[in-house]
Amino acid sequence: MTEPVGGGRPLIGPRLIEHSLLFVTGKGGVGKTTIAAALAIHAAAAGKRVLACEVDAKGTLAAAFEAGPLGFEPRPVHPGIDAMAMDTEDSLREYLRLYVHLPLLARIGPLARTFDFVADAAPGVKEILTVGKVCYEVREEHYDLVVVDAAASGHIAGQLSAPWTINDLVQVGLVRDQTRWMTDILADPAQTGVVVVTTAEELPVVETLDLLELLGATVPVAVAAVIVNRVLPELFTRVDEELFAALRTPAAVGALAAAGGAQAGDVMQVLDAAALAVALRRERAGNLAMLQERLRPGLGMVLVPELFARSHGKRAVMQVAEALSEELS
C-alpha cells in the first residue's frame, strides 16, 4: 500500500472558497479553465469579491466568460467577478513602478527585449512575476478570493515554487526581500490552496496522483481539493445491466423493432450507444476508485457530472458552476 498523497491541513469542502488564493491546475484537456471559471462564479454567488486570473494567455478564460479579450488590468466579467490575463512584462513594469523608484525607467524603451532576455537567462523570473502579481493582489486585499487558472500540471510545481527557487539562487537584492512575504502567503493553508482538476480517464488520474506526490514533496503549498470533471452518469444497476444484456439479443431487438415499426439495425445502434456509455463509465469508475484510495484522508474528491451541454460558452460554465455549488455545499 502506497502512502496517501497531498499534504497540509487545507480548508476543504464548503470552506474551499474561504481561501484568499486558489491555483487551479490539471492535465491539459480536463476542463481546468471551465472549473476555474465555475469556482469563481460559485464564490461570487456566495457573496465574495473575486478576481479570476488567466496565466497562459490563450484566451480560454475570456471565452469561458464570453467576455472578449482580457488584459493585465482587471475588469468586470460577471457580477462579483473581475478577470485579468497575466502578462509578465506588465507585471514587471508594475513591480518596478512600485518598488524600484528609478527615474531612468522612462528611458527603458525596449523593455520587452531586455525582459525576454532576463526571463530566459534567470530561471524563475517569469514564474515569480506571475505568482508575485497574484500574491500582491491577495496582500492588498482588493478581492476576497483570487482564482488563478494556473499552469498545467507539468509546470505548476515550477510556477508555485518560483519564490523558493529564487530565494535559493539570489543571495541579496530586492527580489530576495520580496520573496519572503510571498512565501508567507503561499505556504499558509488557510490562505492559499491548489485545486487539482482531473477527469476520470486513466492518464489524467495517473498524472493527478503523480502531481500530488510531487507537490507534497517539493512545494510547500497545500492541496485544497481534487475536482473530478465530467463524471459520466451510472446508467444501470447490476440487475438492470443483466436486463440490458438480454435486450441486446437478436430476439429482443427484433421484438422491439417490430413493436416500434423501426429497423432492427437502428434499434441495435441505440443499444450499442448505451453499451458504449456503460463501457466508458465502467473504465472510469475503476480509475476513480484508484484515485480515491490513494488520496490523503480528508482530502475528498469533488465530483462534477458530465452535463452533455450543447455549447461550451458561458451557459455551460454556469451549469458547471451550479453542479459544483451542489457538490461543495
238 lies in the binding site for other proteins (CB under 8 A): no
Binds other proteins (CB under 8 A): choice among 13, 73, 114, 142: 114
- Report, in Å, the least distance between residue 91 CB and other proteins: 13
- Residue type for 241, please? E
Q: Judged by CB, which is closer to other proteins: 242, or 293?
A: 242
262 lies in the binding site for other proteins (CB under 8 A): yes
C-alpha cell at 196: 487539482
- Report, in Å, the least distance between residue 103 CB and other proteins: 11
203 lies in the binding site for other proteins (CB under 8 A): yes
Q: Judged by CB, which is closer to other proteins: 9, or 113?
A: 113
In this structure, are residues 139 and 181 in contact, taking their beta carbons and an 8 Å threshold?
A: yes
173 lies in the binding site for other proteins (CB under 8 A): yes
214 lies in the binding site for other proteins (CB under 8 A): no
In this structure, how many other beta carbons lie within 10 angstroms of the beta carbon of residue 252? 15
CA proximity to 133, closest of 186, 99, 176, 95:
95
271 lies in the binding site for other proteins (CB under 8 A): yes
- Report, in Å, the least distance between residue 47 CB and other proteins: 30
Sorted by sequence, the CB contacts under 8 Å of residue 315 that are 6+ apart come out as: 309
Binds other proteins (CB under 8 A): choice among 112, 117, 142, 190: 117
The phi, psi pair for 28, rounded to 5°, reads: -55, 140
Tell me the CB-side half-sphere exposure of residue 1, using CA atoms within 13 A: 6
Q: Which of residues 10-69 bind other proteins (CB under 8 A)?
A: 27-30, 33, 56-58, 60
Give the Cα separation of 142 and 19 in Å (integer): 14
274 lies in the binding site for other proteins (CB under 8 A): yes
In this structure, are residues 253 and 40 in contact, taking their beta carbons and an 8 Å threshold?
A: no
C-alpha cell at 105: 525607467
End-to-end CA separation in angstroms for the chain: 32
Binds other proteins (CB under 8 A): choice among 14, 15, 118, 180: 118
- Report, in Å, the least distance between residue 230 CB and other proteins: 10
Q: Judged by CB, which is closer to other proteins: 47, or 103?
A: 103
Counts for the chain of helices (H) and strands (E), in that order: 13, 8
Q: Judged by CB, which is closer to other proteins: 11, or 160?
A: 160
Give the Cα separation of 318 and 325 in Å (integer): 10
Binds other proteins (CB under 8 A): choice among 49, 93, 139, 176: 176
Binding-site size for other proteins (CB under 8 A) equals 82
- Report, in Å, the least distance between residue 207 CB and other proteins: 8
In this structure, how many other beta carbons lie within 10 angstroms of the beta carbon of residue 210? 14
100 lies in the binding site for other proteins (CB under 8 A): yes
CA proximity to 328, closest of 15, 9, 6:
15
Give the Cα separation of 323 and 35 in Å (integer): 11
In this structure, are residues 51 and 137 in contact, taking their beta carbons and an 8 Å threshold?
A: yes
Q: Judged by CB, which is closer to other proteins: 14, or 29?
A: 29
| Max CA pair span of the chain | 87
236 lies in the binding site for other proteins (CB under 8 A): yes
Q: Judged by CB, which is closer to other proteins: 11, or 231?
A: 231
- Report, in Å, the least distance between residue 322 CB and other proteins: 17
- Report, in Å, the least distance between residue 100 CB and other proteins: 6
Binding region for other proteins (CB under 8 A) out of 42-50, 130-138, 273-281, 295-303:
273-281
